[in-house]
Amino acid sequence: MILKEENRDLFGVSEKYHLAHCISSDCAMGAGIAVQFNERFNLREKLLAKYDSNQRSFPTCILEGRVLNLITKERYWHKPTYGTLVTSLNKMREIVILNKIKYVAMPKIGCGLDGLKWGRVRKYIEATFGDLEVEILVCYL
């Protein structure tokens, strides 16, 4: 794995990248970067139409188009734990392997409104994807 951190707009990356972010299983997407994901990819409507509440139960990860939706909490007002994030990352790993995904771009997942600490999250990403041939680009402004 190659893990890069860059000061750049996540939505300006090349189309070769799959994008990843954290959401709640209710797919509210009403705050933070999830709002932009929903506006650009119509994720709320697609996820609610395609996946029932059991399929969206947390923690998990759902690939919709080129977006990896890490479901780390049940309701939008809840906070994820490092445990739910790690379980979601492990599911994302399965999806990356199954779909032969080589490039992923993401914000500092779980570290905005969700309040997790980036140093710890980064270590979980390295542990989860370290042995794969994948580039993970972390974008922040």
- Which neighbouring-strand residues pair with 138? 5, 106
CA–CA distance, 140 with 63 (Å, rounded to integer) = 22
CA–CA distance, 128 with 58 (Å, rounded to integer) = 18
Would you please indicate which residues are annotated as catalytic (active-site) residues?
A: 73, 114
Q: What is the DSSP letter of 12?
A: G
User: Under a CB-based contact definition with an 8 Å cutoff, are residues 108 and 140 in contact?
Assistant: yes
